[in-house]
Chains A and B, each alone.
Chain A
Amino acid sequence: MTDDLDEIGKLTKVKLKNLDKCFYPDVGVTKAHVIEYYVTLAPKILPVVKDRPLVLTRYPDGIKDSQLGKTSFFEKNAPEGTPAWVKLYPIYSHTSKRDVNYIICNDLDTLIWLANLAALEIHMPFSTIHGINKPDLLFFDVDPEPPATLNDAAEVALQLKDKLLSLGLTPFIKTSGKKGLHVVIPIDPEHSFEATRAFVHQIGIELAKNNDLIVSEFKDTKKPGKVFTDYLQNSPMRTMVIPYSLRPTPEATVSTPLDWSEVQKGLNPTDYTLFSVSKRTSYPWKEIFSKRCKLEI
């Protein structure tokens, strides 16, 4: 075992700590497993998060019963002790009246370092540091309100896909890792967030006209059995979980990119976990940035 640790020490500059700590008690996943998972998925994660300021949710003691008190925290600003080799990007925060140093994860070591910080969940904005106010992604959060399920979300997502294809756009889809689906469209970064948000909202309104299941307005999100196409995240430094991010669920579910052919009845979020996803060979988002479209608004 010590030989393996020595070998690991040669392969990464991150000083790994508390590797035997249990992070997902129900499924026996330790911190070592979590780091191994992120290392395995790194070739699929790194191209998507490249040059995006990240937001973390850290679970220093793993997933626990939240009744025991707060077990996780959000982190935007790079924590004290951040190694000098981690790339940071300052954005002025008007609420806290200072620069917040966001973490940029463009290499494997930074991703390992994030996993070592127990950042089980990683979130990314819809723009890059090359134009933080010019989104290069459109985002639809397809969010079913119980008793509506992931199956209902899938039905809505398929209608959304047809609509987007008819407009000459190329949508990509992933599970949220919880109950919903995320649909993302790569675009040329030339519009403002106001413009992309209005565009996404408009599509939701049009879908809602033809399908009673769908609601397009925030005030209706809590109507039972409806599916909300959330457009509000299309704003500066609002985020979604990155593709292949772990979620804080007992089963260690993953926000998993899917082929559109996989989006059908019987979709179950717990089918996509740390265990199953690290064995998946397909890479449905492989061409996401070579399929950028010019958005005509």
Chain B
Amino acid sequence: MGQQEENLEQDQDKTSAAAPSRSIWSGSITIGLVNVPVKLFSMIYDKGVSFHFLHKPDGQPLKYVKMCTKDDKIVPWNEVVRGYEVAKNEYITFEKAELDAVRPESDKRIRISKFVDYFSVDPIYFDRTYALLPDKSKDAYTLLLNALQKTNKAGACRITLRTKEYPALLHPYKGALVLTTLRYAYDVVDPRDFEKLGKLEIPQKAELDLAVKIVKDLSGEFDITEFKDSYMEKVQELVKQKAKGEKITVTQAPEVEVKGLMVALRETLKQLEKK
């Protein structure tokens, strides 16, 4: 909570998130025979607003338990196996060891296979971005960064994080190297496969000219700070008030009226029974 609060406070005057102090991975970028030692840091928060579920009468946090759907008994870890659903309600089971054997080896390398134009990679494939910082020496790191900046290129590479191998793009961002993991092609739908899209007609020239004019008139620079999370701002305001012990008045009562439904149910059941 302390950490979170600090981050929120900072957000008020600064638009970006706080930098973490601990790296999550260390290794090196390899290009042919050249090695650039680096550390990997998280740089994306999924902040939004999050709440913990508590038990109302005593205020204690709740925990999740695994329950068997057949007898509603709590299942201990040593009785859990992984099941791959091959048909509805039909599973092939695996032990953890069997899956570990085929997992990619945790390799401490970011292997660059080629350099590509950054804008040639559609953002639809972008998954998650990490900051890469120099480890030990800064020389090789600075050299690679400057070369990429000068050529406007990005390194197409692979990285193994935890136990999954990702395609990734290594590129400069605000004076540092960052790595963006990419989605595999099999995770992305080709919109042409939506039957609902159908065949699109080419518009009339006059109509198109008008539409193009509107687009041009409304063109401008993109600025992420123009977008505000108003729900988070309101919740933060409420948190502040509550922390000070102020009473919150709920302006809308989201009560559902179900009395009529309950009475109707009773009445109808009585009538149907008579028959």
Contacts and interface: CB of A to CB of B under 8 A. Distances in A.
Given A43-B272, A108-B272, A35 B256 contact: no
Interface residues of A, number: 20
Main secondary structure of the interface of A (DSSP, over half): helix
B256 A1 contact: yes
A7 B269 contact: no
A40 interface: yes
Nearest to B275: A43
B260 interface: yes
A5 B258 CA distance: 7
Interface size, B (range): 10 to 19
A35 B257 CA distance: 12
B261 A32 contact: yes
Interface hub of B261, B266, B268 (most chain A Cβ within 10 A): B261
Majority SS at the chain B contact face: helix
Contact of B261 (A39, A42, A46): A39
A1 B268 contact: no
B214 to A, nearest CB: 21
Nearest to A47: B275
A32 B256 contact: yes
Nearest to B260: A36
Interface of A: 1, 4-5, 7-8, 11-12, 19-20, 30, 32-33, 35-36, 39-40, 42-43, 46, 108
A36 B259 CA distance: 9
A19 B254 CA distance: 11
B257 A12 contact: no
B6 interface: no
B193 interface: no
A32 B272 contact: no
B269 A11 contact: yes
Given A7-B262, A8-B262, A43-B271, 8 more contacts: A1-B259, A19-B256, A32-B256, A32-B257, A32-B260, A39-B261, A40-B268, A43-B268
